[in-house]
């Protein structure tokens, strides 16, 4: 059985959707059935069918199970603000219990690649002192981290990897997304990450004019756990971070 992947980022706008759709597209090339989910989404736009989020729609475009929008993105908020603040304003409950109930359909077969995209960074607040990362830990999903390559990304990436490990989860890979085209010493920063991160680099996404999933997929590789789902994947976490 292929593990469900949870894709998180070092920050908001690090490129989670860009990389997530690229991974789903690449999985489709390998002949897998695919499905993407976006449980929480802020900044949704009103349509005749209700609120819609561009990230969720992009994931749906690379999915072939034909799920309804509400199954892919059960919690939608119009304001482009932190989801827990938007939920409080609307009197809506986004507790771990409600998230669990809304995501009951997530369960992979041996030939299906499923990916769940988070919101913001790893330690996204929910309500009443809960965090989205706690929900991910309860589900025991494996994690892919998108590193938005900009000044400060080394600290953000290492701290996030440490937090994922501390939560008892496996970081199966990370992707460097070149979000700042003017970043100084990009190659040196990339080399530092490749040395310090406790998981393999699944790709380096350069600045692209065409940001379609097809083009992004050309710069990625699938994590070992999707390609070889029957094999155990052991990833060194805290030891290399503390070495």
Q: Which residues are catalytic?
A: 38
The answer to whether the CB of 73 falls within 8 A of the CB of 41 is yes
Partnered with residue 220 across adjacent β-strands are 203
| Closest alpha carbon to 149 in 18, 5, 3, 50 | 18
Strand 5-9, strand 112-121: pairing = parallel
Sign of CA dihedral 134, 1, 160, 180: negative
Count of beta carbons in the 10 Å neighbourhood of residue 129: 7
Cα–Cα dist 121/118, whole Å: 7
Sign of CA dihedral 141, 164, 83, 26: negative
Scanning the structure block, which residue is given the tokens 């699938």? Answer: 222
State CA 26 to chain mean position distance.
15
């Amino acid at each position: 059985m292929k593990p469900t992947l949870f894709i998180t980022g070092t920050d908001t706008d690090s490129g989670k959707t860009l990389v997530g759709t690229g991974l789903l597209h690449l999985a489709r090339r390998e002949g897998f059935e695919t499905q993407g989910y976006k449980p929480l989404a802020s900044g949704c736009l009103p349509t005749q069918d209700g609120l819609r989020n561009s990230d969720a729609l992009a994931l749906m475009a690379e999915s072939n199970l034909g799920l309804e929008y509400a199954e892919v993105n059960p919690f939608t908020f119009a304001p482009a603000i932190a989801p827990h603040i938007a939920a409080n304003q609307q009197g809506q409950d986004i507790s771990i219990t409600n998230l669990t109930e809304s995501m009951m359909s997530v369960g992979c077969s041996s030939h299906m690649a499923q990916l769940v995209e988070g919101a913001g960074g790893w330690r996204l607040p929910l309500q009443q002192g809960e965090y989205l990362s706690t929900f991910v830990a309860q589900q025991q999903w494996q994690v892919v981290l998108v590193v938005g390559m900009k000044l400060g990304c080394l600290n953000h990436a290492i701290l996030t990897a440490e937090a994922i490990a501390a939560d008892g989860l496996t970081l199966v890979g990370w992707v460097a997304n070149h979000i700042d085209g003017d970043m100084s010493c990009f190659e040196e920063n990339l080399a530092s990450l490749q040395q310090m991160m406790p998981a393999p680099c699944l790709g380096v996404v350069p600045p692209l004019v065409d940001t379609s999933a097809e083009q992004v997929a050309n710069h990625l590789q699938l994590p070992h756990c999707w390609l070889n789902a029957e094999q155990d994947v052991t990833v060194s976490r805290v030891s290399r971070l503390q070495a």
